[in-house]
């Protein structure tokens, strides 16, 4: 690939990231718009109406600026993609041996090295990086070809921090308490200038999952072993990290709420506005909410193109998990309400590997290994709710 095309690909990646950030803010504006509608209805005095009017004017200007920025970002991205497409069309169909993609050659060599490592029961170690006797799998090789749409990865909803050591401390400043002070206030009380920083200890743990591959499969098959390893490691890693993150979400302060009005009160009164609230709920609770209607007969649960899960209620994204993952049993009407990104931090060691391990029955088994830790970092960021419907039921029966 020519240097110009490489640079364009990099610029496209940056433009897509920028556009994604702007599109993510669409939901925030929808939420603010609903809040302003409520404020307009509740304004009684001239002073209150004037205050709301000023907020509406400010909101309108901010949204117009946001929409203009988003449109500009979309145009820029389209332009970059069009330019890259035209350059690719001019690219010769065949390249000389000296012009072949070096990166592709390197990955092909790594893939073949890992295949030989597996087939030789760990005896051949050429063409890839080994870690403590195992084969280090590059993250690029672990990326699945296509994720199922219904698959939920909780790592996308919490803060992920890459770490290079097995243990350490991570500083956290409470989101709900941070504010600026005037020079006069600082002069009168210099301690105000010192932020309250809590250090969270993390300790990376190694997790193993056995990959079901037999010697007969290795001997008889000519397929790419790395494909099998990749799919199984991705599946086991996702299930494991989801379970560990959900376990932390379940430690949030417990709260019982009755009906959708109880949920509204929790969001509006109990959680500080600095936290962007999402609902991470059991499938039974989702099913309960999915049947709710307003006084005009319209369903409260709405489809959303801005929410990554595709669903929103009360202007907030709804993420659905299996009952026994976010709860304890089938039928549990439970979930986390709040800002999971502030509540939980995922410390990622980013070292995924495979190695052959001894087994007393099968002789040797192939083991996939991931390393990370999950910690609660801000307990003010949300609640773990048990939902009761208007009839007082807590189960989906």
Taking only the tens place, the pLDDT of each residue in 245-292 is 999 999 999 999 999 999 999 999 999 988 999 999 999 999 999 999
Q: What is the DSSP letter of 102?
A: H
Cα 106 off chain centre by: 30
Dist. CA 366–CA 51, nearest whole Å:
66
Contact 334, 286 (CB under 8 A): no
Contact 388, 257 (CB under 8 A): yes
How does the average pLDDT of the chain come out, rounded?
77
Q: What is the pLDDT of residue 133?
A: 46
Task: Find, among 373, 377, 374, the residue nearest to 343 by Cα.
Answer: 377
Please check the confidence at residue 354 and state whether its pLDDT lies above 50. Answer: yes
* pLDDT level of residue 91 (50, 70, 90 thresholds): low
* pLDDT level of residue 105 (50, 70, 90 thresholds): low
Dist. CA 199–CA 180, nearest whole Å:
22
Higher pLDDT, 124 or 339: 339
Contact 172, 195 (CB under 8 A): no
207: enclosing H helix or E strand: strand 205-211
Please check the confidence at residue 71 and state whether its pLDDT lies above 80. Answer: yes
At residue 259, what are phi and psi to the nearest 5 degrees? Answer: 70, 170
Question: Got the DSSP string for 271-292?
Answer: S-TTS--EEEEEHHHHHHHHT-
Residues of the chain above pLDDT 70, percent: 67
255: enclosing H helix or E strand: strand 254-258
Dist. CA 24–CA 360, nearest whole Å:
51
Dist. CA 324–CA 330, nearest whole Å:
6
Distances (CA, A) of 107 to 114, 125, 137, 333: 11, 15, 11, 46
Pairing of strands 382-388, 334-338: antiparallel
Contact 321, 280 (CB under 8 A): yes
Q: Which residue carries 């929790």 as its tokens?
A: 266
Q: What is the pLDDT of residue 325?
A: 95
Dist. CA 1–CA 291, nearest whole Å:
53
3-state secondary structure of 46: helix
pLDDT (mean) for 187-209: 75
pTM over 0.75: no
- Is residue 312 left, alpha or beta, with left meaning phi > 0 and alpha meaning psi from -120 to 50? beta
Q: Which two structure tokens, joined as six digits, stand for 230?
A: 């990749």
Pairing of strands 344-348, 278-282: unpaired
Q: How many of the other CB atoms lie within 10 Å of CB of 118?
A: 21
Question: Got the DSSP string for 297-346?
Answer: S-BS-EE-SSSTTSEEETTEEEEEE-HHHHSSSTTB-EEEEE-HHHHEEE
């Amino acid at each position: 690939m020519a240097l110009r095309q490489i640079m364009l690909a990099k610029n496209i990646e940056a433009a897509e990231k920028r556009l994604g950030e702007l599109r993510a803010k669409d939901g925030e504006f929808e939420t603010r718009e609903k809040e302003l509608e409520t404020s307009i209805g509740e304004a009684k005095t001239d002073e209150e109406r004037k205050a709301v009017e000023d907020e509406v004017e400010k909101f309108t200007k901010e949204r117009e600026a946001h929409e203009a920025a988003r449109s500009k970002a979309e145009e820029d991205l389209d332009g970059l993609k069009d330019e890259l497409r035209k350059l690719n069309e001019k690219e010769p169909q065949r390249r000389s041996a000296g012009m072949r993609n070096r990166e592709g050659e390197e990955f092909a060599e790594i893939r073949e090295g890992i295949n030989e490592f597996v087939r030789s029961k760990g005896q051949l170690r050429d063409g890839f990086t080994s870690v403590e006797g195992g084969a280090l799998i590059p993250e690029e090789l672990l990326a699945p070809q296509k994720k199922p749409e219904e698959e939920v990865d909780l790592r996308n909803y919490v803060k992920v921090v890459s770490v290079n050591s097995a243990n350490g401390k991570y500083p956290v400043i409470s989101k709900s308490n941070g504010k600026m002070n005037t020079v006069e206030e600082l002069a009168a009380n210099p301690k105000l200038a010192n932020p309250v920083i809590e250090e969270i200890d993390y300790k990376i743990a190694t997790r193993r999952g056995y990959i079901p591959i037999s010697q007969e499969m290795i001997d008889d098959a000519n397929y790419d072993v790395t494909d099998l390893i990749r799919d199984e490691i991705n599946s086991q890693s996702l299930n494991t990290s989801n379970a560990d993150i959900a376990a932390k979400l379940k430690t949030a302060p417990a709260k019982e709420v009755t009906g959708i009005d109880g949920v509204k009160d929790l969001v509006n009164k109990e959680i500080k506005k600095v936290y962007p609230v999402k609902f991470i709920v059991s499938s039974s609770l989702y099913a309960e909410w999915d049947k709710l209607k307003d006084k005009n007969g319209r369903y409260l649960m709405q489809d959303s193109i801005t929410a990554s899960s595709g669903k929103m209620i009360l202007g907030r994204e709804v993420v659905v998990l299996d009952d026994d993952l976010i709860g304890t049993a089938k039928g549990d009407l439970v979930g986390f309400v709040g800002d999971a990104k502030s509540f939980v931090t995922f410390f990622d060691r980013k070292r995924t590997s495979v190695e052959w391990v001894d087994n007393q029955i099968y002789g040797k088994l192939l083991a996939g290994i991931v390393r990370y830790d999950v910690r609660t970092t801000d307990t003010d960021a949300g609640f773990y709710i048990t939902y009761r419907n208007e009839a007082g039921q807590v189960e989906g029966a």
